[in-house]
Amino acid sequence: MAPVKAFLGWPLVRQVMGADRLGRGHAAMSERSRGLAPRTTDADEVVDSICPYCAVGCAQKVFVKDGAVTQIEGSPASPISRGRLCPKGSASKQLVTSPTRVTKVRYRRPFGTDWEDLELDTAIDMIADRVIKTRKQFWEWEADGKRTRRTLGIASLGGATLDNEENYLMKKLYTAMGAIQIENQARI
Amino acid sequence: MPGLGTSFGRGGATTNLMDLQNSDCIVIQGSNMAEAHPVGFQWVVEATRRGATVIHVDPRFTRTSALADVHVPIRAGSDIAFLGALVNHVLSNDLDFREYVVAYTNAAAIIGEEFRDTEDLAGLFSGYDAESGSYDPESWQYVNAPQAPAAGQRDPAQPGGPHEERHRAARSETAGSGGPAVSAKPERDETLQHPRCVFQILKRHFARYTPEMVEQVCGVAPEQFAKVADALTSNSGRERTSAFCYAVGWTHHSVGVQKIRTASILQTLLGNIGRPGGGIMALRGHASIQGSTDIPTLFNILPGYLPMPHAHEHENLDDYVAGDAGSTGFWGNMRDYAVSLLKSYWGDAATADNDFCFDYLPRLTGNHGTYETVKGQIEGRCKGYFVVGENPTVGSGNGKMQRLGMANLDWLVVRDMQLIESATFWKDGPEIETGELATAEIGTEVFFLPAASHVEKAGSFTQTQRMLQWRDKAVEPPGDCQSELDFYHELGVRIRRKLAGSADEMDRPLLDLVWDYPRDEHGDVDGQAVLREINGTGPDGAALSSYTELKSDGSTACGCWIYCGVYADEVNQARRRKPHWEQDQVAAEWGWVWPANRRILYNRASAAPDGTPWSERKKYVWWDPEAGSWTGADVPDFIADRPPDHVPEDGATGPDALGGQDPFIMQTDGKAWLYVPVGLADGPMPTHYEPAESPVPNPLYPGQQGNPAIENIKTASNPMNPSLSEVFPFVFTSYRLTEHHTAGGMSRTLPYLSELQPEPFCEVSPGLARERGLEHLGWATIVTARTAIEARVLVTDRLRSLRLGDRTIEQVGLPYHWGPNGIVRGDAPNDLVGLALDPNVHIQDKVGTCDIRPGRRPRGPALTAYVADYRRRAGVVDPEEDS
Amino acid sequence: MGSLWGRLDDVQTDAGYGSPDEHPPRMGFFTDTSVCIGCKACEVACKEWNEVPDDGYLLTGMSYDNTQELGASTWRHVAFVEKPLDVPVEAPPADLGMPSMGPPDPQGAESGGEGGVRWLMSSDVCKHCTHAACLDVCPTGSLFRTEYGTVVVQPDICNGCGYCVPACPYGVIDLREGDGRAFKCTLCYDRLKEGQTPACAQACPTESIQYGELSELRERADRRLTELHDQGVDVARLYGRDPDDGVGGDGAFFLLLDEPEVYGLPPDPIVTTRDLGSLWRHVGAAAATVAGLGVASFASRRLVPRLLGTALGGRR
């Protein structure tokens, strides 16, 4: 900024020269304030989503800049929520950007006293082995002379915050492996 | 919920949140809607702006009560007595909507002579077997209706007792879409005078539910009862409609299903079902709790409420279909739905010759619900456990049982976003402190896998009014975080790879499974491809538009028949987002609602039997004689071109058997069921029983204290407080706060929510504070036979001492969100909860009895000794010795 | 131009934004507490948008209010007032009806009474006064009147002198610990510039918080008041609506269901610079004026509501 311009931009000068003689308004506005804009205006993307908390199903707009979430707020278009969110829905950005979120696999070996690191790929492979082993160990073709074709050795709990597509694949896979003790929050 | 399913044919909310604005009266009971569903509550506020009366019936004065016109404080667990008295009020004063009742309900149906009511048998229905503690519902049936195997009856005799398994198999949940089956339409007396017609039986059954009884059981004064009765009845009828809203305040009880049934009876008698401003709004607590029931992760059902097959009766597909399909109504097409599901699971491997791989399905032999499973873990019968977006050591009843089960596993997989208590129980669970468990002695191998958040994956939730709404993916999940879709897909891929080449018959279902899903532009498993499989495809491979297109010859595949149409025209209909200001109030182009995008269910009933609207004010769906079809604001929940005067031919089956005045098309007789002849494990009509733990005797049926068909979980860590115990003289009730979310994993970890409710507390009345010397903001120890926890005390007039006859009942309010982990911490109130379950759905009471004392609880082993002393003084029976 | 007191119909013109047709209309909040459900979505939405830090984890025992008061890190605050119904609305002189936010007196006759309880909830916020003493006393020009008529503190200018703190008759603005600067509600100045609704009002589930043109909001509030009076809710009244009141009317005003004191609001706020008009002739004198004011006023902003509270019967 050229020195003269800078001088003219001083609040006191603006004040004396302008209509805002007491320097309480226009004249007091700083450069930052003058250039202020909502941080969402330069979002790379605005993505439509749904709140993950209760079952009202409020619509959310997720603002993304440089691959990171910069704001989550209600989407006014929804006939159910009309843009509104409760405190939990309003805290959604904190939910997804929480610094205490665990983003690495944690592993506790039998009788272990602390967590250990484990590669995701290794973890999934180990889990697959354990499913196969436990399934076989507790396999049951019959109970009381009637065909059951199942395992009672493996159980699952969860699903009420998951997507329909996820629940579908879970039930499909579990059913094919013969696991029947598949439950979720709906029972709890 | 079977409460709604057996009454109306589908287990979902009959209405939607937005339609509440059309109500003239809204009764919120068993729900703290303003706190648990704040944004949904805007529609209640809209209704009040239009002059509606809002009534909140709840043990506590909550943020919902604060905005209601009337708050009725009620003793926790006494809802059936209150609602039953409303039913009685309607029946004995002829306040029912008679034309609706005669035409659209089973009021006129005649019940067999063998049936005996609780009036005759001192609180029991006929068919009770005391040894097994369960009912044989055979005597509850319609007269002359050929006895179709159904509900409890679908379990044949077992070795060791004729009814042993009967109430355990949870078949009632299959009424989620498609009411229970009766094989023929009943005899009817439309004058409603026949002594054995449902209407008269109902009248006799509820006669003892008087306002005086309400005062004695619920602690509600007759004047207050009258206020509710008048508001409700004066706002029901042709011109006006009333709605009910409920949530887990009803479902979390050992008589939960029957609570919903009582409201269903009441709303049906008042003619409030299927009409704008009417209905029963079931408020679900999680983003997709409706979806996780529709496409279940539940043991007893397959997608679309098809039952899981049972070992003793379903040896093949024919048995399976014969056992569960009614011959009339839309459930009559069950074979189409079942075969299409098998085709979506096993594709080309499923052929007519091999019964479409029906044999690949594992079979049930009883209750395999979560609490029974945990018992199995404790007993070493279940060794591998996936915990996915759940926190059972805080969120499930009786946390100790959960942790003891987990400590006895071979392996545990926890998938979450934060290190929740269920992942760290081996390190810092309460039993480590007491010495009941020792870290170095717990052999459980624990895998904590970080999960993707809702913005890091694409997919659909089904919210509380059965609406599927699609979420797009916004960002990549960080680090190892992964969606369930990707994890389970990958797990399946690896298991199949490891088993490839196996000749073992047990591996066929895995190897034949259709398990190849395309990737989307992000490289993730394409959720839309999965949704398309759920929707179903026809012989040409194109997406189907309606479940009416499904076939049983193997030419169609469909992963969940009630969701058929969500991908109609190859478009993800759940992703529709036409702004509400570009649509009418029904907003049919936002998301997609099952079934068939119908927003208000049973909406044929919004018109009179002749097809004309009941009134101009409540016009919704009606018959257009010129067009020869049903029309109106919503998708008609009826066969579009079936005229109101249609009478089906004798012997018609499936949908052809539905007459023009049968609005409840999923019911075998097309009617709303005031009386449930089949489908429920604890009686055809609701009866007030005390919770498993209660400080008072049951005045309605002296001698029959609790639900006779209650399911007990008998394991050492689940001792129950004896009823009427002086050692446990108070009632506790657990609940949510607006500022937190269920077991807290998604709220106690966030600063902005944690600061709003930073510490566990209990709420007590000034009377109880006086009685026990509790100080505001001081500490209290709350004790049950399971354990003792501590919490800070809020003394508040919002909790009232209730007068029940000559005694006073005090209630302790316990928000249950906290646990030992997170930003704000404390003891987990659900550790106090004892497990005694509703026999229909295997859900526990959220109320029980307790003691409360000032001060903090003992630490370490002293805690177990403290609780043991309570058990001794109260004479608590060791559950394993109690048979 | 340059009023410090009395009726002022165009604050923006007064603040140098030209004639009425040269600046946008004055924008504000109307908070209708009769439909507030105390969910605190406003508090969280505000914090998320404005990146306001958490304010500590303290269970206060003041009903469900663990936020306590407006401050540098709390720009929306939901007050919860529990009162037994059988206590008359017009409280006796010894107790002017200050909120019973603490424990009910266990020995008191009113506790556990048969008359039930009343639970008032109200989301408080900066009033964006017509005559804003905070900005009048600000020596750095950090506080200023925006083109929307709202009052905003500019963090790039504020030097943390703290003169604004005691100047506020409502006890709104405060210095943030560890930062030193003054913060308060900006009425989401940045969002307004793009025609967006402030975060709190956007989130509010029941439209208890309404945002819009102040003139329109005042009409809406008048209609709502009439409606409630017609329904027999005689206790309903508007607060901060009157352009002739001690602060020239508030840019954020309220519909209350009890006396303002019950919600912790001063009953008759008066701009603390009312009598300073003669001193405020010369811009250069501002600092001296403010120093004088600081002495004449309260030592700490925290004391303002406390002292008011004491005078009115004590706030726990």
Residue A188 pLDDT grade (very low, low, confident, very high; cuts 50, 70, 90): confident
**Residue B739 placed within a domain:** yes
Whether the predicted pLDDT of A79 surpasses 70: yes
CB half-sphere exposure, A122, CA atoms < 13 A: 8
Residue B765 to residue C112, Cβ atoms within 8 A: yes
The separation between the first and the last C-alpha atoms of chain B, rounded to the nearest angstrom, is: 30
Chain B closest-CA separation from residue C112 CA (Å): 6
Contact criterion met (CB below 8 Å) for B57 and B74? yes
C13, C39, C156: residue with CB nearest A30:
C156
**Residue B583 placed within a domain:** no
- Residue keyed to tokens 């603002």: A63
Q: Both B569 and B534 in a single domain?
A: yes
Residues of B with CB below 8 A from C39's CB? 34-35, 38, 63, 738
Exposed, middle or buried, C2 (CB in 10 Å: 0-12/13-18/19+)? middle
Most B CBs within 10 Å: which of A40, A82, A184, as the mutation test of the B interface?
A: A184
Sign of CA dihedral B90, B93, B98, B104: positive
Residues of B with CB below 8 A from A109's CB? 445
Greatest alpha-carbon pair distance for chain B in Å reads: 80
**Residue B828 placed within a domain:** yes
Counting the structural domains of chain B, the total is 3
Owning domain of residue A67? 45-97
Residue B836 pLDDT grade (very low, low, confident, very high; cuts 50, 70, 90): very high
CA pair distance B482, A123, nearest whole angstrom: 13
Mean predicted confidence (pLDDT) in A22-51: 94
Q: Which of B457, B491, B473, B288 is nearest to A158 (CA)?
A: B288
Residue B314 pLDDT grade (very low, low, confident, very high; cuts 50, 70, 90): confident
Q: Both A170 and A128 in a single domain?
A: yes
Residue B449 to residue A123, Cβ atoms within 8 A: yes
Q: For residue range B21-41, what is the model confidence (pLDDT) as tens digits?
A: 999 999 999 999 999 999 999
Residue B292 to residue A84, Cβ atoms within 8 A: no
Q: What 3-state DSSP class applies to B248?
A: helix
pLDDT at B322: 84
CA pair distance B438, B441, nearest whole angstrom: 5
Which residues make beta-bridge pairs with A47?
A: A62
Q: Both A121 and A183 in a single domain?
A: yes
Please report the ipTM that was assigned to this predicted complex: 0.95
Whether the predicted pLDDT of A3 surpasses 70: no
Q: Both B242 and B311 in a single domain?
A: no
Q: What are phi and psi of B849, to 5 degrees?
A: -110, 160
**Of B515, B545, B574, which residue is a domain's last?**
B574
Residue A96 to residue B456, Cβ atoms within 8 A: yes
Q: Both B338 and B277 in a single domain?
A: no
Owning domain of residue B248? 2-145+182-282
- Residue keyed to tokens 């966030």: B750
Q: For residue range B553-595, what is the model confidence (pLDDT) as tens digits?
A: 999 999 999 999 999 999 999 999 999 999 999 999 999 999 9
**Residue A109 placed within a domain:** no
Q: Both A24 and A60 in a single domain?
A: no
Mean pLDDT of the residues in chain B: 93
* Domain C11-311 part of CATH 3.40.50.2300: no
**Residue A105 placed within a domain:** no
Which residues make beta-bridge pairs with B158?
A: B161
C43, C106, C206: residue with CB nearest B756:
C43
pLDDT at B165: 36
Whether the predicted pLDDT of B400 surpasses 80: yes
- Residue keyed to tokens 């009582």: B262
**Residue B270 placed within a domain:** yes
Q: Which of B858, B879, B867 is nearest to B783 (CA)?
A: B867
CATH number of the CATH domain containing A80: 2.20.25.90
Residue B332 pLDDT grade (very low, low, confident, very high; cuts 50, 70, 90): confident
Q: For residue range B401-421, what is the model confidence (pLDDT) as tens digits?
A: 999 999 999 999 999 999 999
Domain ranges of chain C: 11-311
Instruction: Tell whether B519 lies on the interface with A, counting CB pairs under 8 A.
Output: no
Residue A164 to residue B288, Cβ atoms within 8 A: yes
Whether the predicted pLDDT of C93 surpasses 60: no
**Residue B237 placed within a domain:** yes
**Residue B467 placed within a domain:** no
Q: Which of B698, B696, B700 is nearest to B213 (CA)?
A: B700
With a CB cutoff of 8 Å and minimum separation 6, the contacts of B265 are B7, B87, B202, B674, B685, B686
**Residue B305 placed within a domain:** yes
pLDDT at C248: 94
Q: Both A62 and A9 in a single domain?
A: no
Contact criterion met (CB below 8 Å) for B251 and B260? yes
Whether the predicted pLDDT of C22 surpasses 60: yes
Q: For residue range B42-56, what is the model confidence (pLDDT) as tens digits?
A: 999 999 999 999 999
Residues of A with CB below 8 A from B382's CB? 138, 152-155, 181
**Residue A107 placed within a domain:** no
pLDDT at C100: 43
Strand pairing category for B730-735 and B811-815: parallel
Counting the structural domains of chain A, the total is 3
Residue C115 pLDDT grade (very low, low, confident, very high; cuts 50, 70, 90): low
Partners of chain C (3+ Cβ pairs below 8 A): A, B
CB half-sphere exposure, B86, CA atoms < 13 A: 28
Residue of B nearest to A43 (CA): B474
Whether the predicted pLDDT of B699 surpasses 60: yes
Q: Both B270 and B318 in a single domain?
A: no
pLDDT at B171: 47
Residue B173 pLDDT grade (very low, low, confident, very high; cuts 50, 70, 90): low
CA pair distance B101, B618, nearest whole angstrom: 17
**Residue A39 placed within a domain:** no
CB half-sphere exposure, B309, CA atoms < 13 A: 28
C139: number of Cβ within 10 Å: 16
pLDDT at C282: 40
Radius of gyration of chain B (CA): 26
CATH number of the CATH domain containing B72: 3.40.228.10
Mean predicted confidence (pLDDT) in C51-59: 96
**Residue A27 placed within a domain:** yes
The conformational region for residue C215 under phi > 0 = left, psi -120 to 50 = alpha, else beta, is alpha
Return the HEC string of B515-543: CCCCECCCCCECHHHHHHHHHCECCCCCE
Q: Both B858 and B760 in a single domain?
A: yes
Radius of gyration of chain C (CA): 19
Instruction: Tell whether B450 lies on the interface with A, counting CB pairs under 8 A.
Output: yes
How would you list the strands of the sheet with B592-593, edge to edge? B459-462, B467-471, B592-593
Instruction: Tell whether B377 lies on the interface with A, counting CB pairs under 8 A.
Output: yes
Contact criterion met (CB below 8 Å) for B294 and B594? yes
CA pair distance B228, B56, nearest whole angstrom: 9
Whether the predicted pLDDT of B600 surpasses 90: yes
pLDDT at C122: 98
Whether the predicted pLDDT of A1 surpasses 70: no
- Give the DSSP letter of residue C243: T
**Residue A40 placed within a domain:** no
Residue A165 to residue B485, Cβ atoms within 8 A: yes
Contact criterion met (CB below 8 Å) for B173 and B305? yes
